[in-house]
């Protein structure tokens, strides 16, 4: 078993839906506080840390803590929970999922109900059910029973999925976007401990990326970086049903240097730093024009501008409960990030 798996399990099992990142922030602080010179949680909930170097440059590593999920919107007369989606979760994957409602009184498990085929027509079964028509069954028989158990409007809800080891070096689970990026950042902090680094290293573990890059907008302004490497996952398209040339990203082919996406064009300096380091160290990598976006789009525009290039781990089935990554890609991403940070002069 990879030495990374225990930490991955811990990261994905700790709740942190967008806007409700307190628990995952506390976990990350506990993992890095003995390896950094400074760490704090800002007013928005971002975890900000610094490792002092020789002042050659201020280099930021960013990873968002939040995961896509749900939030309680209403409790009906019969105790069924209505919810709103937080982040770009796919409505197609929601019916029949197990979930956890995180209440003041503790965790309450439930299932997203689904009308059985016996009660539906063929046309109805072929339609995607909108989130507003779905509900969570926690076993309650009334609104009063659900509320007595602790459920209230605005309680966050996570999908109830753990980690499964697949064939070879691949693993499956939820919230890999972007707990894998958090893992990469944490591991880089640990591996650079007691090494003489020219740059001052800044780390931000941000909130609400899935709701509009909100945490990164604040953290990048606060930390004043000159160069930034946001670490995230990025969608691979190496499986059936995806149109050819949607993207060239594949699992197992190494970290992705995200040159362009729908909101962002990377800067030449950090992009070339990553490429040169990868080629010098013999680390496989992929250059990509990617779908979606990352915290990089916000970081790049902070203050007078930040030279920014995201570094990503390839991921299948983004924003689903069955995301898949390759441990070799994760390890190579950690190595590429760490060696690049060491190279800053």
Report the DSSP pairing between strands 69-75 and 58-64: unpaired
User: What are 9's two structure tokens?
Assistant: 């399990």
User: What are 288's two structure tokens?
Assistant: 């990509």
* CA-to-CA separations, 264 to 90, 212, 299, 310, in angstroms, rounded: 23, 14, 10, 10
Report the DSSP pairing between strands 69-75 and 106-112: unpaired
CA 213, CA 52: separation in Å to the nearest integer?
26
Q: Is residue 296 a contact partner of residue 274, using CB atoms and an 8 Å limit?
A: no
In our burial notation (b when 16+ CB lie closer than 10 A, e otherwise), range 44-65 reads: bbbbbbbbebeeebbbbbbbbb
- List the catalytic residues: 209
CA 208, CA 214: separation in Å to the nearest integer?
5
> CA-based diameter of the chain, in Å?
69
For the four alpha carbons of 316, 319, 323 and 327, in that order, the dihedral sign comes to positive
Residue 15: count of CB within 10 angstroms of its CB: 19
Report the DSSP pairing between strands 200-206 and 58-64: parallel
Judged by DSSP in three states, 110 sits in: strand
CA 100, CA 9: separation in Å to the nearest integer?
16
Say which residues have a Cβ less than 8 Å from residue 338's Cβ, sequence separation at least 6. 187, 188, 191, 192
């Amino acid at each position: 078993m990879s030495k990374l798996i225990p930490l991955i399990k811990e990261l994905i099992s700790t709740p942190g839906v967008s806007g409700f990142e307190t628990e995952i922030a506390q976990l990350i602080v506990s993992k890095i506080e003995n390896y950094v010179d400074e760490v704090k949680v800002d007013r928005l909930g971002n975890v900000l840390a610094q490792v002092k170097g020789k002042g050659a440059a201020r280099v930021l590593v960013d990873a968002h803590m939040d995961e896509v999920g749900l939030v309680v919107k209403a409790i009906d007369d019969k105790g069924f929970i209505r919810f709103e989606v937080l982040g770009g979760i796919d409505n197609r994957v929601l019916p029949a999922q197990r979930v956890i409602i995180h209440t003041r009184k503790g965790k309450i498990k439930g299932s997203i109900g689904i009308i059985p085929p016996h009660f539906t027509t063929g046309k109805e079964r072929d339609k995607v059910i909108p989130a507003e028509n779905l509900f969570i069954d926690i076993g309650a028989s009334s609104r009063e029973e659900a509320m007595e158990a602790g459920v209230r409007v605005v309680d966050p809800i996570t999908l109830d999925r753990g980690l499964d080891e697949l064939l070879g070096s691949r693993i499956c689970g939820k919230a890999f976007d972007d707990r894998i990026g958090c893992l990469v950042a944490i591991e880089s902090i640990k591996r650079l401990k007691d090494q003489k680094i020219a740059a001052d290293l800044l780390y931000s573990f941000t909130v609400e990326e899935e709701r509009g890059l909100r945490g990164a907008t604040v953290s990048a302004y606060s930390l004043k970086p000159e160069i930034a490497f946001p670490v995230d996952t990025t969608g691979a398209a190496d499986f059936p049903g995806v149109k050819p040339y949607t993207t060239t990203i594949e699992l197992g082919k190494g970290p992705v240097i995200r040159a362009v996406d729908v909101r962002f064009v990377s800067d030449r300096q950090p992009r070339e730093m990553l490429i040169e380091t990868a080629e010098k160290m013999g680390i496989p990598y992929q250059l990509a024009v990617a779908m979606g976006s990352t915290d990089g789009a916000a970081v790049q525009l902070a203050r007078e501008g930040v030279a920014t290039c995201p570094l990503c781990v390839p991921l299948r089935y983004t924003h689903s409960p069955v995301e898949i990554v390759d441990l070799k890609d994760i390890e190579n991403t950690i190595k590429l990030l760490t060696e690049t940070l060491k190279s800053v002069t």
